[in-house]
Amino acid sequence: MRNDGVTRRDVLKGVVSRLVIGSSFGKYSALVIAWLAIVCLISLSPSAMAQPIDRQYWVNIHTQGAAWTLRINDINVRSHKLTEQYSISYPISTSLREGQNTVSFIYAPLIEQDPETGEFIQGPKSTFYVDVSIEAINTSTQQKERINTLQLRYDMDAGELVDFPNNPANPLGETIHQTEHLRTRGEFQVNSPDRLVIDNGDLLSAERVDMSFRLLDTIPDFHWVNEATPLQDTPRLRHELRQAYERLHRLFEEGKTDAILREGEAMWDRAGLLMAGGKNAREYTESLPIASQLAGLREEPGSPQLEPLRLADDPAGDSLEFMGNGRLVRILPTPIRWSYPNEPDRFHRLPVVFYRTASGEWRLATVAS
C-alpha cells in the first residue's frame, strides 16, 4: 500500500520525531547498593525501562467522498482535506499502547458548497466509503499480520453507516479480526457530531466513528498520560498556549539544541524505543536528516531557515484542535515552520501538540501530522 510511489521506508524517514556491582566495600555495602538500585529503578521513565519490540505497526487507509482525519487513541495520525479517492500506509507505533486502543475516523461528507454563503452542504453520499486496517510487520522476518477495523459506507435508504467489507480496496471482502498481536470485535460506534480542523485552520462540522482494538505487545503508555489535565477553550488557555509556542520557537531561534532535546526528550525517547531499536532522544533525532538539521544537531549547506512564529493577530483568532480526550491541544495552521529562501514552495513544519500539568506547566506531548 503506497501513496504516489512513496515507500514505507520513505515514510519512516519523513516522520518528524513523526524511545555492575563490584566487590564488597564495607559492612553495609550490600544494603546501600540495593537501596541505590531501587532508587534508580523508580526514577527511570517507562520508556527507559522498556525494551525495544521486534515489530513495526502501520495503519492502512483507503477512503473516498469526505475530508477526514484518522486518529489512534484520539491523536491525529493522518488527515486529508479533499474528497477524492485516497490511499496511504502510515507508521503508528508511537500512537499505540499495550492493551486497549481506539481507531477513530472523523470526517465531513461534503456534497456541495452553497454559492451564496460559502458553507459546505454535507450528508450521506453513495460514493463515500472507508477501509482501515492495522498491520504489524516483524522487523526480522518481515512477516505480516493484519486486522480489519473500520470498513464502512452509507446505506442510502436509511441514511446510516453500515459495514462494507466488499469495498473497492478489499474486493474479496476479507475480514480478519484476530491475529497473534492484534484483536478487535469489529463493532463500530458512531459518536457524532464532532468537528474537523483542516490543516489551514478552517473548521468543519463532522461525523465521527470509533472502533476499539487490543494490542498484545509490550508498548509502554504515553509519557503524558498521568500528568495531562483536562483542558477547556478559554482566553487564559489560549494565552498560555501561545506562550508555550513562543518559548519553544525561541529555543530554535537561539539554537539551543540541548534545551530543545530536553523539551522533547520523553516523546523522542519513546519514538526511539519503538521505531529505532531503542535509541535515546538525541540518537533518534540525529538519525533523521531533516529533524537533526532543525534541532541544530547537523548543519549542511542550504539548510532550511526558521520563519517568524506564525500566529493570528489575536489569540481569539487561533484555531485550536483538541486531542487526547480533551487533554492535548495545538494551534493550526502549525505556527513553527522552516523554509528554503530559494525554493518558495518547499518548507517543513513542526506540528507539536502540548499538554498542561496540574502545576500549570505546558509540555510537549507528541508531534502529530
Q: What are the tens digits of pLDDT across the range 22-43? A: 333 343 344 333 333 333 333 3
Question: How many angstroms separate the CA atoms of 264 and 241, rounded?
Answer: 16
- Look at the block and give the residue holding cell 471482502: 173
Which segment of 51-65, 71-85, 206-220, 287-301 scores lowest on mean pLDDT?
287-301
Mean pLDDT, residues 253-264 taken together: 96
Stated pTM of the model: 0.85
pLDDT, residue 114, reads 87
> pLDDT tens, 324-334?
999 999 999 99
Residues in the chain: 369
β-bridge partners, 40: none
What percent of the chain stands above pLDDT 70?
Answer: 86
Q: Give the model's confidence band at 298: pLDDT under 50 very low, under 70 low, under 90 confident, else very high.
A: confident
Which amino acid, residue 87? S
Q: Tell me what pLDDT residue 342 has.
A: 87
pLDDT at 234 over 60: yes
State whether residue 208 is helix, strand or coil: strand
Backbone angles phi, psi at 173, to 5 degrees: 70, 25
Contact, 53 vs 130, CB < 8 A? no
Q: How many CB atoms lie within 10 A of CB 224?
A: 21
Fill in the amino acid letter for 151: Q
- Give CA separation, 155 vs 42, 84, 152, 171, 251, in Å: 54, 20, 10, 18, 52
- Looking at residue 178, the DSSP 8-state letter turns out to be B
Domains of the chain by range and CATH? 55-215 (no CATH), 235-367 (3.10.450)
pLDDT classification of 369: cutoffs 50, 70, 90? confident
Q: Are 78 and 69 in contact (CB under 8 A)?
A: yes
Q: What is the pLDDT of residues 78-108, one digit of tens each?
A: 999 999 999 999 999 999 999 999 999 999 9
**Predicted local distance difference test score (pLDDT) of residue 117:** 86
Give CA–CA dist 55/275, Å, rounded.
9
* pLDDT tier at 165, thresholds 50, 70, 90: very high
Report whether 94 contacts 274 (CB < 8 A). Answer: yes
- Residue 142 is inside which H or E element, if any? none
